[in-house]
Structure 1
Amino acid sequence: MARNIGSRYTAHQILGRGSAGTVWLGEGPDGPVAIKLLREDLASDQELVGRFVQERTALLGLDHPHVVAVRDLVVDGNDLALVMELVRGTDLRTRLDRERRLAPEAAVAVVADVADGLAAAHAAGVVHRDVKPENILLDMEGPIGPGGSHPALLTDFGVAKLIDTPRRTKATKIIGTPDYLAPEIVEGLPPRAAVDIYALATVLYELLAGFTPFGGGHPGAVLRRHVTETVVPLPGIPDELWQLLVQCLAKAPASRLRASELAARLREQLPQLAGIPSLEVDEPDSGATEEERSYGDADVPQASAGEQPRRRGAVSLVPGAAPDSNRDTHTSMRVPAPDELAGGARGTARAPRAAGQRRPGSARHKAEAVRKRRITLGVTAVLLVAVLGVGGWLATSSDGAEPDPAGTTRSVSPVP
């Protein structure tokens, strides 16, 4: 059903939903556009509307081939919307869901494009704050690049900052997506450009491995790993690329490369990556301990009995919002206390397993464990019954019978 957005735009068809709003395919004076319509309760927040208007100049000024351009910002009654360039393609998460991982050449080409876009944004003083595969679009109508990759564009600039208002998130809260949050965000420091580099390096790791370096389990446990664990090597990629990843995943923001440096260094490595196949590694065990499950925000929704478990980190961006899409990957969590972050010595993240190696937390492993426990309990029960039977027979023999010289047993009556 079509609806008017302000006086210049018409929204025709829903393209996707998220906790902050809905993306529509729309039409404007210059042709097709994508319209991100924020939720009505957000539009009624006057503080957020004011921040929205303040960000207008910065967002409209972002013009780069690898950034989804914001064409207009609409404030009209209950409508609060970002009108954006329409990219005909898909997002990187959808491709990962289909292929699980990319060949190194294609992965590096995609991330280099995004780094170029971030360099332009950072030069304009804009920090994205929510770099992740969901916010990276692949232009299927663009030219084919190295490794068969399509041009990548970064979208959703400004959304995290708009939502992160004092009324909605106190100083003790974190806005972001757990798997991609830089350690300084977890520790409560203000977001700078380096947080985007850390998140983009996490995306590159995920494109190569098929999983993020610190993800898995309760979101609170994920946050803790960002601060206390170091990333483990991925077998099968050139050492130079690995060292670049490690530098951009450094705990200290100052140790990371700038976006322009990262883009240049990645493109330098493309020739030596040609022909290298996708890595063959499996995700390490991601089961959370009792300590990890108790760490984090009690408001984070958990899967109920009989419900399919949500993809890790899949909790709402806006506190109190019910997730309505598998694209809901933001979270609002409390900032961990220093003693919690220091609860364990710094260590190395769980190592990836060789392809085909059974994971301790896998369904098959759990089924085998249950079967073995049942066999053990069955054998124990049989032995216990046998022992009790022999014990009862001995007790009966000693209390009411004694053997005669012929070897038979005769009853012994008590002497009156």
Structure 2
Amino acid sequence: MARKIGSRYTANQILGRGSAGTVWLGEGPEGPVAIKLLREDLASDQELVGRFVQERTALLGLDHPNVVSVRDLVVDGNDLALVMDLVRGTDLRTRLDRERRLAPEAAVAIVADVADGLAAAHAAGVVHRDVKPENVLLDMQGPLGPGGSHPALLTDFGVAKLIDSPRRTRATKIIGTPDYLAPEIIEGLPPRASVDIYALATVLYELLAGFTPFGGGHPGAVLRRHVTETVVPLPGIPEELWQLLVQCLAKAPASRLRASELGARLREQLPLLAGMPPLDVDEPDTEPEEESPEAEDPPGETVTGARVRRGSVPLVPGAKPDSNRDTHTSMRVPGPDELAGGARGTARAPRTPGAPRPGSARHRATARRRRITLGVAAVVLVVAAAVGTWAATSGDDAGATPSDTRNSAPESP
């Protein structure tokens, strides 16, 4: 059923529902548009509405072929909406779900497009803060690029920033999607442009490998890995491309490339990747990890047997996740002692099928059984040694003569 959005737009058909709101196919004075209508409880938040209006100039000023442009921001009664360009296509998550992983040439071409869009945003002083496959749209009507890739556009600029108000997320909270969060955000530092580079490098790793470098299991464990663990090499890609990934996944923000540099360097790699098939990488098992009793599983994390099915994490507490995974999560920032805990070293290293991942509950249980076995063996060895010593001593006493016994006793006065 059609509805009016402000005085200039009409929302005709729902394209998708997200935890932050609903995306409609709409009509405006200049033709078809996409209208993101935020949830009513967000629209009633006067502080958020004020931030929404303050961000209007910055968001409307982003104009780049690889950015889904925001045409208008509407504040009208209970309606709070972003009016955006309509992209005829799908999102990158949908393609990943279908293909599991992409050929390196296509993956690099898509990420180079997004890097170009980020470069324009960063030059305008805008940090996206939630770069992930769900927020990358593929324009199916655009010309095909390297590896048969469709033009990629980054969308949802400003949504994370609008939602991340001081009252909604205190100093002990963080906004973002766990798999793509830069270490400095987890440690409570303010987000800079470098957080988008880290997230985009995570997306590239996921496109190549079929899984994120630090994801899987309880979100608290994911956050800890971002801070403490190193990324596992991907076999079969050029060394220079791997070094680009490593540099952009560096724990120190200053070590990462700028968006413009990343886009240019990725395009230099395209000739080396032509015709290369998707990588043959074994995805590590994802197992539930033991967390502190007060840690709560966020919505969208469903434990099934020994494996975890990862789903969406709603932006608004209590909201139900949905198919388009328009997701954020607000979580407690781990303390230094928590960040120092857990498995260290290489993250998500491929291993023998059936073998437990280091630091997992199965791994700890196996180690506990091994310690018990070794302890029992040690006790047996000690008992055996004691029995042998007693037998040897008894044998010496049995062979002693009476004179020997007398000579060992003190003389009488």
Shared fold (TM-score, shorter chain, > 0.5): yes
Q: Is the 8 A contact 2:301 2:311 kept in 1?
A: no
Q: 1:149 maps to what in 2?
A: 149
Structure 1: 5+ residue runs without aligned partners?
A: 367-416
CA distance in 1 between counterparts of 2:210 and 2:292 reads 27
- Indicate how the Cα distance of structure 1 residues 310 and 158 shifts in structure 2: closer, same or farther if over 3 A, else same: farther
The percent of aligned pairs where both chains have the same amino acid is: 86
Aligned residue number for residue 315 of structure 1: 313
CA distance in 2, matches of 1:13, 1:99: 28
Deviation of residue 343 (structure 1)? 1.9
SS at match of 1:51: helix
For the Cα contact (< 8 Å) 1:70–1:84, is it kept in 2? yes
User: What residue in structure 2 maps to residue 21 of structure 1?
Assistant: 21
SS of the residue corresponding to residue 156 of structure 1 reads coil
Residue pair 1:59, 1:158 contacting (<8 A) in 2 also: yes
> What is the CA deviation profile of residues 283-321 of structure 1, one whole-angstrom value per residue up to 9, with x for unaligned ones?
11221322xx338842623667889x8852622112332
Match of 1:245 in 2: 245
* CA-atom RMSD in angstroms: 2.2
Matched, 1:209 2:209: yes
| 1:349-393 CA distance string (max 9 Å, x none) | 12135xxx635479xxx9xxxxxxxxxxxxxxxxxxxxxxxxxxx
Q: Secondary structure at the match of 1:126?
A: coil
Distance 2:76 2:8 in 1: 11
| Aligned 1:247-286 pairs, distance under 5 A | 247-286=247-286
Determine helix, strand or coil for the equivalent of 1:263: helix
Look up the equivalent residue of 2:353 and give its one-letter code: R
Find the residue that maps to 2:117 and give its secondary structure.
helix
Pair 1:358-2:353 in alignment: yes
Aligned to 1:282, what secondary structure does the other structure show? coil
Deviation, structure 1 residue 150: 0.4
- Which residue does the alignment assign to 1:375? none
Deviations 1:216-252 (A, max 9, x none): 0011110110000000101111111000000000000
Separation in 2, partners of 1:335, 1:109: 34
Q: CA 1:301 to 1:237, structure 2 compared with 1: closer, same or farther past 3 Å?
A: same
Distance 2:309 2:72 in 1: 33
**Cα distance, 1:269 vs structure 2:** 0.6
Q: Which amino acid aligns with 1:22?
A: T
Could you tell me which residue of structure 1 aligns to residue 186 of structure 2?
Answer: 186
Q: Quick check: 1:143–1:150 contact (8 Å CA) kept in 2?
A: yes
Q: Is the 8 A contact 1:163 1:318 kept in 2?
A: no
Question: Any conservation in 2 of the 1:17–1:23 contact (CA below 8 Å)?
Answer: yes
**Cα distance change of structure 1 residues 90 and 238 upon mapping to structure 2, 3 Å threshold:** same
Deviation (angstroms), 1:141: 0.4
Q: How many residues align?
A: 358
- Pairs within 5 Å for 1:43-82: 43-82=43-82
Q: Structure 2 matches for 1:8-407, cutoff 5 A?
A: 8-290=8-290, 293-294=291-292, 297-298=295-296, 300-301=298-299, 311-312=309-310, 314-325=312-323, 327-344=325-342, 346-352=344-350, 358-360=353-355
Would the aligned equivalents of 2:300 and 2:321 in 1 still touch at CA under 8 Å? no
Q: Does the aligned pair in 2 maintain the 1:296–1:333 contact within 8 Å?
A: no
SS of the residue 1:236 aligns to: coil
8 Å contact from structure 1 (residues 296, 334) kept in 2: no
TM-score, structure 1 normalization: 0.82
Question: SS of 2:236's equivalent?
Answer: coil
